[in-house]
Structure 1
Amino acid sequence: MNKQPVALVTGAASGMGKAVMEKFQREGWAVIAIDRSEIPPQPGITPVVADITSYSALRDAVAGALQGSRVSALINAAGIFPVSTLESSNDALYRQIFDVNVLGSVNTAKVASEFISEQGGALLMFASVDAFAVSPGQLLYSASKAAVVSLVKSLAIELVGKKIVVNAIAPGWVETEGTLKSGRIHEGVKAVPMQRAASVGEIADWVWAFSSQPGYITGETLVISGGSYMR
């Protein structure tokens, strides 16, 4: 039996994934932190270098890190958002975005569900407000995140027998290294009714609330956008 609950967190080297990793660590969970980049080891965190686009490599890495423990939650925060338009899109860019954002979601869900606790657990995927309200220059990214929203609904039905709830969050503008570097965030937040972006800490708090205690909600996507999109 696990001494403490275990969370798998992807995209944990930076941004929202890192904030989620640190939130679960502070709450006393053991965290297996997955990224393509090295993550410094620290108490309560087991860093794993793995590519979520490869199911076999991801499964082997997670199995080795778990060492017989079971998973109570998966938070798949890994994702990419390169600019794409009809003119700039090509086969390679399509595969790059969909491999990480969509295939990666399938692979992480498959691995997590295989190692889930006997008591069940929660899978939480990162979608985006762009799945519902598209942005200029995000043709393929928006489509990939809409696919994630659909995957969550299907997985919620498929995995209910394992006592697993599957949900997603759909952030709007968030102050991460990537969004700040692109510079687009400074103009983007002007259209947000709250007139600001979310902090990574705010996102991590919502992730915690939505996935640490799975309950009667499954198949849903929570939009966290400061009012820029309302369903």
Structure 2
Amino acid sequence: MAVVEKPLVVISGAAKGIGRACAEAFIANGWHVAAFDLDQERLDELLAASPVSAVSVSAVDVTDPASIRQATSKLPGSARALINAAGIYPMSALATASVELYRKIFDINVLGTVLLSQAIAENMSDGGAIINFASVNAFMAKPEQLLYSAAKAAVVNLTRSMAAELASRNIRVNGVAPGPVDTDGLRAIPGRLEQVASQVPLGRTATPAEIAALVLWLVDGHGAQFMTGETVVSSGGLLMR
């Protein structure tokens, strides 16, 4: 693949939801987006909807080192930023938690973040940025979200540890911990969006574009260049309760 002149950002989970919004935000601000996801159909939709040469897409399983190696070998240059937005959030209570569900949640949300960061950071330009996705669940207890909350708490400390390790290269690592966001997953359960919004002090859920704007600022915004090892909560005030 030819080297591109625009700054390169790799985004996992880029086919839908917050990841898709991140891709659109970076494209709109002059970046070349390497969009990673398992959903090839939605990746193709992103490609078709984007300006020519603004995005490249790859079907990637972030839990599979071979899949990551294949995709990263095709990148059009060294990444200046990585957005680890791939994740899943199935319900899981203590009484019903299983080994299989534990492995699935931790593999995608935690191991996937580690493996992709490892692959991208190796060749990342000094002065780059990595954004990991945690969740407000990392800081509060909710029934039937046991494993997801534990995985996202792991991402918070993973972010700190990565930041400490990469600081000598001036690579900043920060996290974003959204509260409820208006995505297809939340809308898939009838009445769930309204129920969740009623619990938020601001009275609504976030839009994917609002979270993407925060991510873009953490990567390249004025005032963010001295931030590393932090996880920024954007929850509409949920943590006040």
State the TM-score, normalizing by the size of structure 2: 0.91
Deviation at 1:2, TM superposition (A): 5.4
Deviation at 1:123, TM superposition (A): 0.2
Work out which of the residue numbers 187, 204, 209 in structure 1 matches 2:217.
209
Paired position in structure 2 for 1:57: 67
Asked if 2 retains the 8 angstrom alpha-carbon contact of 1:73 and 1:212, the reply is no
Work out which of the residue numbers 3, 6, 23 in structure 2 matches 1:4.
6
Deviation at 1:138, TM superposition (A): 0.5
Paired position in structure 1 for 2:238: 228
Paired position in structure 2 for 1:120: 127
**Which structure 1 residue ranges, 4+ long, deviate > 3 Å from structure 2?**
none
Paired position in structure 1 for 2:170: 163
Q: Distance in 1 between the 2:170 and 2:69 partners? A: 21
Amino acid at match of 2:97: S
| CA deviations over 1:58-99 (Å, ceiling 9, x no partner) | 1221121x14x1110001111000010011111100000000
Deviation at 1:135, TM superposition (A): 1.9
The equivalences for 1:186-197 within 5 A come to: 186-197=194-205
The secondary structure found in structure 1 opposite 2:6 is coil
Are positions 1:174 and 2:176 aligned together? no
The secondary structure found in structure 1 opposite 2:188 is helix
The equivalences for 1:119-138 within 5 A come to: 119-138=126-145
Q: Percentage identity across aligned positions?
A: 43
Q: Distance in 1 between the 2:70 and 2:117 partners? A: 14
Q: Distance in 2 between the 1:59 and 1:110 partners? A: 11
Asked if 2 retains the 8 angstrom alpha-carbon contact of 1:128 and 1:170, the reply is yes
Greater mean deviation of Cα atoms: 17-26 or 133-142: 133-142
Q: Distance in 1 between the 2:110 and 2:73 partners? A: 22
Deviation at 1:230, TM superposition (A): 4.6
Asked if 2 retains the 8 angstrom alpha-carbon contact of 1:52 and 1:104, the reply is yes
The equivalences for 1:68-79 within 5 A come to: 69-79=77-87
Work out which of the residue numbers 104, 114, 120 in structure 2 matches 1:106.
114
Paired position in structure 1 for 2:156: 149
Amino acid at match of 2:193: I
Asked if 2 retains the 8 angstrom alpha-carbon contact of 1:189 and 1:195, the reply is yes
| CA deviations over 1:157-204 (Å, ceiling 9, x no partner) | 011122210000000010001111134332121111100000011111
Work out which of the residue numbers 12, 27, 30 in structure 2 matches 1:28.
30
The secondary structure found in structure 1 opposite 2:19 is helix
Q: Distance in 1 between the 2:69 and 2:194 partners? A: 39
Q: Distance in 2 between the 1:123 and 1:11 partners? A: 15
CA RMSD of aligned residues (A): 1.5
The secondary structure found in structure 1 opposite 2:238 is coil
The secondary structure found in structure 1 opposite 2:73 is helix
5+ residue gaps, structure 1, are: none
5+ residue gaps, structure 2, are: none
Asked if 1 retains the 8 angstrom alpha-carbon contact of 2:133 and 2:177, the reply is yes
Asked if 2 retains the 8 angstrom alpha-carbon contact of 1:2 and 1:70, the reply is no
Amino acid at match of 2:233: V
Amino acid at match of 2:130: L
Q: Distance in 1 between the 2:123 and 2:189 partners? A: 37
